[in-house]
Amino acid sequence: MTVEIIDLGDTTAEVIRKPIKHVHLSVYPPNGRVRVSAPKQMALDTIRVFAISRLPWIRAQQRKVRAQEREPPREYIERESHYLWGRRYLLTVMEDEAAPRVVRQSNRIVLTVRPGTATERRAQLLDAWYREQIRATLPPLLDKWQALMKVQASRVHVQRMKTKWGSCNPASRSIRLNTELAKKPPECLEYVLVHELAHLIERRHDARFRALMDRFMPRWQQYRDELNQLPVRHERWDG
Domain locations in the chain as residue ranges: 3-67, 81-229
Grade residue 238 by pLDDT with cuts at 50, 70 and 90: very low
Grade residue 233 by pLDDT with cuts at 50, 70 and 90: low
Architecture of the 81-229 domain: 2-Layer Sandwich (3.30)
Grade residue 236 by pLDDT with cuts at 50, 70 and 90: very low
For the entire predicted model, the pTM comes to: 0.75
Q: What integer pLDDT is reported at residue 114 of this predicted model?
A: 96
Within 13 A of 26's CA, how many CA atoms are on the CB side? 15
Grade residue 129 by pLDDT with cuts at 50, 70 and 90: very high
pLDDT higher for 33 or 232?
A: 33
Q: Please write the tens of the pLDDT for every residue from 138-155.
A: 999 999 999 999 999 999
Is the pLDDT at 221 greater than 70? The verdict is: yes
Rounded average pLDDT over 72-86: 92
pLDDT higher for 31 or 224?
A: 224
Is the pLDDT at 87 greater than 80? The verdict is: yes
**Please, is 175 exposed, middle or buried when counting C-beta atoms within 10 Å of its C-beta (0-12, 13-18, 19+)?**
buried
| Lowest-pLDDT range of 22-31, 152-161, 180-189 | 22-31
Q: What integer pLDDT is reported at residue 105 of this predicted model?
A: 93
The answer to whether the CB of 194 falls within 8 A of the CB of 213 is yes
Q: What is the dihedral of CA 192, 132, 142, 200, to 10 degrees?
A: 50
Which of 12-24 are b and which e, b meaning 16 or more Cβ less than 10 Å from the residue's Cβ? ebbbebeeeeebe
| Lowest-pLDDT range of 21-25, 74-78, 141-145, 149-153 | 21-25
Is the pLDDT at 205 greater than 70? The verdict is: yes
